[in-house]
């Protein structure tokens, strides 16, 4: 996992308190299986790449590694990955920074948001997985995607029609209704 992490020039990327040199070890610790290490790692990311809704340059660069975790069978730290993605998706750049996403130059805020929304199928996969303990976290993230609201409503409605877990079915209903009311 994280085979390309050393290709990122972390010592040149900004975070809330300076350079992002600690990010690779924090990402590794986030999925370590040691609950204390995972918690410490979360705060080394949450209070650094994103801080109280402010995004820093390194936030954009951790996204591929967060997607890699969610695309794997790793369950350690998964809940915190969703928390980080939600914070980053809904954050705003603290400094004016441009990022390149698929050949397009975007503001940090737009690049982070667009990158995360483009991964929606990864999050839907979690919601569809009835054995996952992180369905609600994926659902929370998906519910914040105004850009693809109709798609989210459609897919969540299809899940709801076959959902066996009554508690999760209730969550789905609430999210679907909230999304519809915002239209």
How many separate domains does the chain show?
2
User: pLDDT tens digits, residue range 52-76?
Assistant: 999 999 999 999 999 999 999 999 9
162: left (phi over 0), alpha (psi -120 to 50) or beta: alpha
User: pLDDT tens digits, residue range 16-31?
Assistant: 998 999 999 999 999 9
Phi first, then psi: give them for residue 19, nearest 5 degrees.
-85, 155
Cβ(69)–Cβ(31) below 8 Å: yes
Contacts with 23 (C-beta within 8 Å, 6 or more apart), sequence order: 10, 13, 15, 44, 45, 48, 49, 58, 61, 62
134 and 179 co-located in one domain: yes
107 and 176 co-located in one domain: no
pTM higher than 0.85 for the full model? Answer: yes
48 and 91 co-located in one domain: yes
What integer is the mean pLDDT of 136-151? 96
110 and 33 co-located in one domain: yes
Domain boundary among 118, 137, 159: 118
Domain boundary among 64, 85, 118: 118
Model confidence band, residue 95 (pLDDT cutoffs 50, 70, 90):
confident
42 and 94 co-located in one domain: yes
Angle at 134 between CA 129 and CA 137, to 5 degrees: 115
Domain boundary among 88, 118, 148: 118
What residue numbers bound the domain in which 167 lies? Answer: 119-183
Instruction: Tell me how far CA of residue 131 lies from CA of 128, 134, 135, 137, 168, in angstroms.
Output: 9, 9, 9, 14, 12
């Amino acid at each position: 996992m994280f085979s390309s992490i050393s290709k990122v020039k972390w010592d040149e990327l900004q975070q809330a308190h300076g350079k992002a040199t600690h990010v690779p070890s924090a990402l590794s610790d986030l999925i370590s299986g040691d609950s204390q290490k995972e918690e410490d790692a979360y705060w080394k990311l949450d209070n650094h790449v994103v801080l109280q809704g402010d995004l820093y340059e390194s936030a954009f660069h951790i996204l591929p590694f967060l997607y890699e975790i969610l695309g794997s069978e790793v369950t350690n730290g998964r809940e915190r990955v969703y928390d980080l993605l939600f914070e980053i998706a809904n954050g705003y750049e603290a400094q004016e920074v441009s990022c390149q996403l698929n050949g397009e130059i975007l503001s940090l805020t737009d690049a982070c948001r667009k990158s995360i929304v483009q991964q929606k199928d990864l999050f839907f996969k979690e919601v569809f997985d009835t054995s996952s303990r992180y369905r609600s976290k994926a659902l929370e993230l998906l519910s914040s995607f105004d850009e693809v609201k109709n798609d989210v409503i459609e897919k969540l409605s299809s899940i709801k029609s076959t959902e066996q877990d009554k508690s999760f079915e209730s969550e789905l209903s609430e999210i679907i209704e909230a999304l519809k009311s915002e239209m």
